[in-house]
Amino acid sequence: MTERHDDGPRRPGQVKEITSLANPIIKDIKALSQKKNREAGGLFMAEGLKLVLDALETGWTIDTLIFAKSAKDKPLVEKAASRAVAAGGLVLEVSEKVLSSVTRRDNPQMVVGIFHARWTSLSAIKPKPGETWVALDRVRDPGNLGTIIRTADAAGASGVILVGESTDPYGLETVRATMGSIFTMPVARASQADFLKWRKSSGASLIATHLKGAIDYRRADYKSRPVVLLMGNEQSGIPDELAEAADVRVKIPSRARRIRSISLAPPPSCCSRRVATCWNWTPEMDEKASLFARPRAFLPFILVAVALDQLIKALVELYLPLHEALPVIPFLALYRTWNEGVAFSFLSDMDGWVIVVMRFIIIGMVLWWWRGADRRAFLLNLGFAMIVAGAIGNIIDRFVYGHVVDYVLFHTETWSFAVFNLADALISVGAACVGVWEIFFSRKRPGTGINPALRMSRKAFESECVLAHLA
């Protein structure tokens, strides 16, 4: 785009107004829709004012800035134009008809930038501890490649390596799909032979997605060495030569019975996010917890709470007279009574054994919910432990005394609350803890609620799979 045309040469820092689709400069820009022209000129197109400004601020060399005539008075457009002129770029003020022709869209962005492409040399990539590179074998779909670059960027990957004949990362559709990550993610390309040669000297662990002899991707070792995640072609996957060169082969389990494949974009998202979060992950986080996995960790607390509840009740039975209030402080008295129902004498007319069975069912339900709680959610787990301890304490009463022993009374001269005990207090406070966590904290820490379907396996893509949930 530096040759002369009939209307004169293009000069660095020049501002021109163009309204004709036949203008030679516009024809040159439109030619960038073809890969051969992009590679010949080393240029590519990016749409959007924010994208153009981000590229300029990160040091990308601009060749041409194009903006719609209707947007010329906007401060940010003027800023972009000024920076383009200062960088020696050509600035074009065009009609919307011309802009639509350039972008091949009916409703184009008001600003388009033509930038010099950047390729990272494969030999210059020397993975460091903690780094992750995403290698893609013969990617065919521009949208997939753009999505992978974007999600790898979000997951903290260091860059993308294209192996073999892949779609052009600087094609307009790919650049759109990256949503700006093309300007922040290094991109390298290499033949299969060059990639395998580089892999041997890189010191990185090559982890490939493959079905044969593969392990769950969440169980691979992402910590001991730098990681290169290798993903295969959309149709044929990874060729045997690359699969055999991998240190580890991983697979992403699917619950679908009839779906045989998914888009190429989610797997890199899953694995990249796994690498980014593996420092805080243990295999147990991804396994479905057994029914008693969570209670086991709180067993000492449950035993102490139940023992204390029973000790107090034994003392009450020995020393407190029945149905006589013993004032302690204003509004609070010790008042020994019997509760033959549940939840503050509710269902007191029901047969005692039916109530016992109901309590066991409730404990089972609580344990089932508890198994889906993240072990890091202390308040949530403590709440479940208190509920279970309180329920067990009142069940023991049924077998020892034939009823539940209550002894705490809140009252005034005109009003009194139902008499309760320590076990009832544990259940009430525990339920409050669970409610507080679910309402106020679970959304701030996704994946730590009581619903197993919402748990993140220390991944947040399992977010377009492990950069969201698994597709």
Determine the Cα–Cα distance for residues 179 and 213; give it in Å rounded to an integer.
36
Tell me what percent of the residues of the chain surpass a pLDDT of 70.
Answer: 78
Cβ-proximal residues to 450 (8 Å cutoff; 6+ apart), any chain: 369, 370, 372, 373, 380, 434, 438
Q: What is the mean pLDDT of residues 101-122?
A: 89
For residues 339 and 285, the model is more confident at: 339
Helical segments of 136-191, H only: 142-154, 172-178
Least reliable range by pLDDT among 172-176, 210-214, 307-311? 210-214
User: Residue 102: what are its φ and ψ, rounded to 5°?
Assistant: -65, -45
pLDDT value of position 460: 31
Residue 191 pLDDT level (bands cut at 50, 70, 90): very high
pLDDT value of position 11: 54
424: annotated active-site residue:
yes
pLDDT value of position 170: 94
Residue 62: pLDDT over 90? yes
Determine the Cα–Cα distance for residues 417 and 425; give it in Å rounded to an integer.
13
Residue 377 pLDDT level (bands cut at 50, 70, 90): confident
CATH of domain 15-116: 3.30.1330.30
Of 182, 194, 59, the residue nearest 125 (C-alpha): 194
- 187-190 and 90-94: which strand pairing? unpaired
Residue 92: pLDDT over 80? yes
Least reliable range by pLDDT among 156-170, 236-250, 300-314, 452-466? 452-466
- 248-251 and 325-329: which strand pairing? unpaired
Map residue 173 onto helix, strand or coil: helix
pLDDT value of position 349: 54
Cβ-proximal residues to 110 (8 Å cutoff; 6+ apart), any chain: 49, 67, 68, 70, 71, 74, 77, 99
Active-site position among 28, 168, 286, 406:
406
pLDDT value of position 109: 85
> 401-456, pLDDT tens digit by residue?
888 888 888 877 777 777 888 988 998 899 898 888 878 776 554 444 444 333 33
Residue 78: pLDDT over 80? yes
Domain ranges of the chain: 15-116, 122-280, 293-454
- Length of the chain as a residue count: 471
* Burial 387-400, CB ≥16 within 10 A → b, else e: bbbbbbbbbbbbee
Q: What is the mean pLDDT of residues 12-35?
A: 84
Q: What is the mean pLDDT of residues 316-344?
A: 81
Residue 363 pLDDT level (bands cut at 50, 70, 90): confident
> 236-282, pLDDT tens digit by residue?
778 888 888 888 888 776 544 444 444 444 445 455 444 544 433 34
Q: Which fold has domain 122-280?
A: Alpha/beta knot (3.40.1280)
For residues 449 and 42, the model is more confident at: 42
Whether 270 contacts 464, CB under 8 Å: no
Secondary structure letter of residue 107 according to DSSP: S
Residue 12 pLDDT level (bands cut at 50, 70, 90): low
Q: How many CA atoms within 13 Å lie on the side-chain side of 418?
A: 13
Active-site position among 137, 141, 309, 424:
424
Determine the Cα–Cα distance for residues 387 and 429; give it in Å rounded to an integer.
8
Tokens in use for 275? 């690498």
Residue 310 pLDDT level (bands cut at 50, 70, 90): very high
Average pLDDT over the chain reads 78
Whether 26 contacts 106, CB under 8 Å: no
63: annotated active-site residue:
no
Residue 9 pLDDT level (bands cut at 50, 70, 90): low
